[in-house]
């Protein structure tokens, strides 16, 4: 086995093993959430690109910091599937199919949705905080960003990719994703890039909390299984 093959096995072996079984057994029926997400994103993009549908999609799933918070929260679930019109939709569809599909197989349907929502919501809430801080703060944003529509599915995709890397010990892959988002902010300082970083921070907190809970559970199980002390 070559060095590259050994590295790939160490990096992605656990993830591959988790995906291979369900996918080989049920094929595309194993990822109904990913399939539905791709179809919904494609339909929303098609409607969004039409003159008659643009306003409808914006009103239903377009989230901006200028909107009232209650309205933004109401729109956030659908905003996961509203891709940016200035980017190629096929890229978003491939990312959703791949990352959502792997996450659905590894994390389960509802946990995948929960992580995707937390990542997207983190970006949404950060935008409001950043605008309050203002452009002179390292974490701040210019007031004009209040009118910019949130990132759509990309924050959810980034968040899920980091969670999968953490859970299945693909640390290099997760680090590359994080580094790419940092480079994006450095080279092109925009709202989307900073929302991606906010999404990463949110899911890393989730990963840390989950790891801590598992460690405490193992400690309790280990202490509970010990033999009673010998009476003299």
Residue with tokens 């008659």: 52
Q: Residue 122: which residues within 8 A CB-CB, separation 6 or more?
A: 155, 159, 195, 198, 199, 201, 202, 203
Range of the domain at 103: 14-208
Calculate mean pLDDT across residues 203-223.
83
**Crossing angle, helix 54-61 and helix 32-48, to 10 degrees?**
130
What six digits make up the tokens of 106? 């590894």
Residue with tokens 């997400």: 37
Given a cut of 60, whether residue 7 has pLDDT beyond it is yes
Nearest to 79 by CA among 33, 119, 139: 119
Q: Does residue 101 lie within any of the structural domains?
A: yes
pLDDT digits (tens, 9 = 90+) for 11-32: 888 888 888 888 877 787 888 9
Q: Does residue 195 lie within any of the structural domains?
A: yes
Residue 149 maps to which CATH number? Answer: 1.20.1540.10
Q: Does residue 29 lie within any of the structural domains?
A: yes
Q: Does residue 106 lie within any of the structural domains?
A: yes
Mean pLDDT for all residues in the chain? 88
Q: Does residue 87 lie within any of the structural domains?
A: yes
Q: How confident is residue 173, by pLDDT bands cut at 50, 70 and 90?
A: very high
Given a cut of 60, whether residue 226 has pLDDT beyond it is no
- Given this model, what pLDDT does residue 103 score? 94
Q: Does residue 86 lie within any of the structural domains?
A: yes
Percent of the chain scoring above 90 in pLDDT: 55
Q: Does residue 229 lie within any of the structural domains?
A: no
Calculate mean pLDDT across residues 160-175.
93
Number of domains in the chain: 1
Q: Does residue 27 lie within any of the structural domains?
A: yes
């Amino acid at each position: 086995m070559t060095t590259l093959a050994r590295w790939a096995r160490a990096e992605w072996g656990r993830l591959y093993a988790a995906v291979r079984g369900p996918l080989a057994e049920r094929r595309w029926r194993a990822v109904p959430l990913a399939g539905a997400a791709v179809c919904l994103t494609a339909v929303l993009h098609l409607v969004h690109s039409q003159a008659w549908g643009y306003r409808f999609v914006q009103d239903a799933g377009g989230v901006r910091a200028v909107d009232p918070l209650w309205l933004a929260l109401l729109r956030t679930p659908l905003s996961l599937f509203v891709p940016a019109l200035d980017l190629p939709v096929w890229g978003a569809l491939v990312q959703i199919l791949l990352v959502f599909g792997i996450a659905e197989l590894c994390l389960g349907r509802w946990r995948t949705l929960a992580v995707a929502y937390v990542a997207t919501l983190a970006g949404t809430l950060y935008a409001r905080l950043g605008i309050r801080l203002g452009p002179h703060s390292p974490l701040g944003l210019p007031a004009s960003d209040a009118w910019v529509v949130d990132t759509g599915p990309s924050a959810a995709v980034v968040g899920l990719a980091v969670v999968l890397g953490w859970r299945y010990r693909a640390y290099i892959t997760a680090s590359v994703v994080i580094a790419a988002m940092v480079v994006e902010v450095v080279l092109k300082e925009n709202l989307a890039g900073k929302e991606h970083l906010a999404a990463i921070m949110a899911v890393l907190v989730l990963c840390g909390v989950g790891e801590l809970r598992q460690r405490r559970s193992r400690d309790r199980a280990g202490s509970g299984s010990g033999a009673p002390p010998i009476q003299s």
